[in-house]
Structure 1
Amino acid sequence: MIFKRDIVETHPGVERPRAGTPLILALGLALSVALGGAAWTQAVEEPPAAADSMAVEAAPAPPATLAPAAAKDPWRRFNRGSYAFNGFLDRALIRPITRAYMKITPSPVRRGLGRVVDNLREPSTVLNASLQGHPRRAVQAGVRFAINSTVGVLGVFDVASRVGLDRSRADFGQTLGRYGVGTGPYLYLPLVGPLNVRDGLGQVVDALTDPISLATGGLGSDFGAGRLGVTALDYRSSADATLAAVAEEATDPYATIQSAYLQNRESVVREATGAVEVLPDFEAAPDTPAPAETVALAANNVSEPIY
């Protein structure tokens, strides 16, 4: 998750992978703990999804539910317990594995794998952009997938962006918000990370309807297990510097990540309605620590209760 990216998708009830993939699956499951940090990275380093460069679409009036909502964290005790558990697992297992991966894998290779992960999400963006009533964005995402999967060598190179087809993101949680579905209470789940009820449901739907997953046999296939492992490593390594900065400088890291996640998701939904200005999706510079002043500013803006 997830998650500068969203939460890693999971499919309940899938068959166990064949021999040879348990380590990858274990990494994928464990690294999902850190996806709260990935969501935080997205909130402080990335603007909302890129605009459709093919055409400017008419922006519908935003539903009333998009107004800033009061804090909703009724399960705070459970959420903080989950956050503490995930943090322990991250320090004991996930962070050492991630940093070993970062040490032995050159930055260009990691960036290429990250682009492959992004490319595999394009078909899901096509589906959700269509459901949101943005056909031109859907077409652009489809064209991006075709170009990057061929000329871009399965997405290792983002050729589409170089010819003016910028990446946009769409998910089912955003789609629900586009049509006025409220967020519901905030959740921080063990082995998952930050969510709200609406976006949790959206992630389940995205996981079950992801065209790439459906075409390749889901997590029960070698491809599905490998995709999960690579996605999880990419998410956690991308968030590593920001997570470290939050842990070191934020007065209350739980509240900081919570605030960043919720503000980011609100921005994503507002973007789908045309309620905010859409900015390009700039890719963060590799291996650059998050500015300490950015983390501190976000932390200082947190006021309890944070929904």
Structure 2
Amino acid sequence: MAAGLLAVAPAVHAQEQPTGSAPANDPWEGFNRGAFKLGMGLDKVLLAPIAHGYMAVTPRPVRNRVSSVVYNLGEPNTVINFALQGKPKRAMRSTARFVVNSTVGVLGLFDVASKMHLPRRDSDFGQTFGYYGAGPGAYIYVPLMGPLNVRDGIGRALDMVTDPVSAVAGGVSTDFGKARLGVTIVDVRASADPAFRALKDSPDPYVAARSAYGQYREAFIRQATGAAEDLPDFDSPPSDTAPATPSPQ
């Protein structure tokens, strides 16, 4: 569930739909609330203790390097989606980022590419579906995965089965695959910790998570379709430290 909350961490304080936004499409709210309660319980007894232990014994600079490696390994999937969206320049820049950071950046430990005016830009199959006009569909909450909708859920599955790094490494059943999955889960949950803390202060954590996720994904789709203002391709490179939340760019 940390992955979904990590994506919406900046907006997780939202308590209701903002003015002008569509109401939540949540026909399975009863089921989803039960799943949310289960997910939060599992997080409390399983993921949170592991993440807090990791944060306690690992200095932030080291955690930032781990986050950089995790992000770098996901870059090839971004390349695929930019190509599918008919954005060859962005696909080539993301390819260049992966090559530079995997070599000069020591397997992604350091974001050298950003200093070479190749800023990080995210994309996934959910965004690609939205780019071609697919609506989000019904909201659904999946324990240990977090908030989703039908479109993004299908996209998330495709992201996993088409992941080039996983395919080359032999899949999640290999030692590398298991280690990567474990490190990614711990890293993402640690990065999402502020979002979890914010949820605890919300009058209705379920609504806050749902609203924040919907706002984030709506903006992410608009960025792909050009309906929202986009950042220039050669903006100032970000700090070498990994951000707490992934940018929708």
Deviations 1:37-63 (A, max 9, x none): 213215469xxxxxxxxxxxxxxxxxx
Q: What is the CA-CA distance between 1:150 and the residue it aligns to?
A: 0.3
Distance in 2 (CA, whole Å) between partners of 1:131 and 1:84 is: 37
Partner of 1:78: 31
1:136 corresponds to: 89
TM-score under structure 1 length normalisation: 0.72
Q: Give the Cα separation in 2 of the matches to 1:286 and 1:268.
A: 20
- 1: CA distance, partners of 2:240 / 2:138: 31
Q: 1:199 aligns with which of 149, 152, 157?
A: 152
Matching of residue 272 in structure 1 with residue 240 in structure 2: no
In the other structure, the counterpart of 2:7 is 39
RMSD: 2.2
Q: 1:218 to 1:287 in 2, by over 3 A?
A: closer
Matches within 5 A, 1:97-108: 97-108=50-61
- Corresponding position: 1:170 with 2:123: yes
Query: 4+ residue stretches of structure 1 with deviation over 3 A?
Result: 42-45, 67-70, 279-288
The CA deviation string for residues 235-270 of structure 1, in whole angstroms up to 9 with x for no partner, is 1101112211221x2111111111111111111111
What is aligned with 1:125? 78
Separation in structure 1 between the aligned mates of residue 123 and residue 27 of structure 2, nearest angstrom: 28
Give the drift of 1:70.
3.8
Q: Which residue pairs with 1:238 in the alignment?
A: 191
**What CA distance in whole angstroms lies between the structure 1 residues aligned with 2:5 and 2:151?**
20
The question of whether the paired residues in 2 share the 8 Å contact of 1:80 and 1:254 is answered with yes
Aligned-residue offset at 1:283: 6.7
Supply the distance in 1 between the matched residues of 2:31 and 2:143 (Cα, whole angstroms). Answer: 10
1:262 and 1:185 mapped to 2: Cα distance? 11
Give the counterpart letter for 2:130 in structure 1. Answer: G
Q: Contact (CA 8 Å) 2:114, 2:120: kept in 1 or not?
A: yes
Q: Give the C-alpha shift of residue 91 in structure 1.
A: 1.2
Percent of pairs with identical residues: 50
- Is residue 139 of structure 2 the alignment partner of residue 186 of structure 1? yes
CA distance in 1, matches of 2:10, 2:127: 15
> Which of residues 242, 246, 254 in structure 1 aligns to 2:206?
254
Where does the alignment leave 5 or more consecutive residues of structure 2 unmatched? 14-19, 245-249
- Number of aligned positions between the proteins: 234
Aligned to 2:100: 147
Q: Which residue of 2 aligns with 1:62?
A: none
**Structure 2 counterpart of 1:126, which letter?**
V
Residue 110 of structure 2: aligned partner:
157
> Matched residues in 2 for 1:287 and 1:39: separation?
12
Give 3-state SS (helix, strand or coil) of 2:147's partner. Answer: strand
Asked whether the equivalents of residues 37 and 257 of structure 1 are also in contact (C-alpha less than 8 Å), the reply is yes
Distance 1:204 1:110 in 2: 27
